[in-house]
Amino acid sequence: MIRFENVGLRYDMGPEVLRDLTFEIRRQSFQFLTGPSGAGKTSLLRMLFLALRPTRGLITVLGRDVATLSRKDLPSIRRRIGVVFQDFRLLDHMTTYENVALPLRVRGKEEREYRQDVVDLIKWVGLGERLNALPIVLSGGEKQRAAIARALIDQPDVLLADEPTGNVDAPLARRLLRLFLELNRSGTAVVIATHDLGLMEQVDARRLVLADGRLEIYD
């Protein structure tokens, strides 16, 4: 579904921070992306959701060569990729419901078509009681789940999550992991970037390990 072939990345005139990355995120697969701080996880995630172009090599997403995509092709491909950012990026003046519904509203969908789906998804992530709360009153874990719901509302083919358990305690981290596994069972490919060894030990999943700019894969 997403393929990297000999991909390299450098920022400006700096050294290559990622080198010779060749791997595939397959449909309905589940994997962790890990490696020491500064190894390039966030840079790799940004390439996966087409926010950053490689300086070398080939990336294909859903069969399309990223280098040949025009600006107008991007939204329809990005829509297939849900992203949960490390800092959540919820809009402060919008409620949980409005934040989660935003991707659909931006696409011009009518509220009556999606209202129930948004409410159901918010309940699924355990935020039913927080439907009308603004981000400022949500705890870190609640914001995390609101961000996950927003990434999922448009039923992406792949979910990318950057340190999704970075701000939560161990029981909530386990709940979030169960949520990701359930999502994966229902057909979504999942990539979780994390430092959290305890989290990775809970599932026998593929690991993509970045070190010194290169990727080692443990299937």
Ligand X SMILES: Nc1ncnc2c1ncn2[C@@H]1O[C@H](COP(=O)(O)OP(=O)(O)OP(=O)(O)O)[C@@H](O)[C@H]1O
User: Which residue ranges make up the site for ligand X (CB under 6 A)?
Assistant: 11, 14, 17, 35, 37-43
Q: Strand 158-162 and strand 189-193: pairing?
A: parallel
Q: Smallest distance from the beta carbon of 124 to ligand X, in angstroms? A: 28
Q: Smallest distance from the beta carbon of 11 to ligand X, in angstroms? A: 3
154 versus 196: smaller Cβ distance to ligand X: 196
Q: Strand 56-61 and strand 2-10: pairing?
A: antiparallel
Q: Smallest distance from the beta carbon of 41 to ligand X, in angstroms? A: 4
Identify which of 33, 52, 83 has the alpha carbon closest to the alpha carbon of residue 192: 33
Q: Smallest distance from the beta carbon of 108 to ligand X, in angstroms? A: 33
40 versus 103: smaller Cβ distance to ligand X: 40
3-state secondary structure of 217: strand
Identify which of 156, 219, 174, 129 has the alpha carbon closest to the alpha carbon of residue 164: 174
28 versus 167: smaller Cβ distance to ligand X: 167
Q: Strand 81-84 and strand 158-162: pairing?
A: parallel
103 versus 164: smaller Cβ distance to ligand X: 164
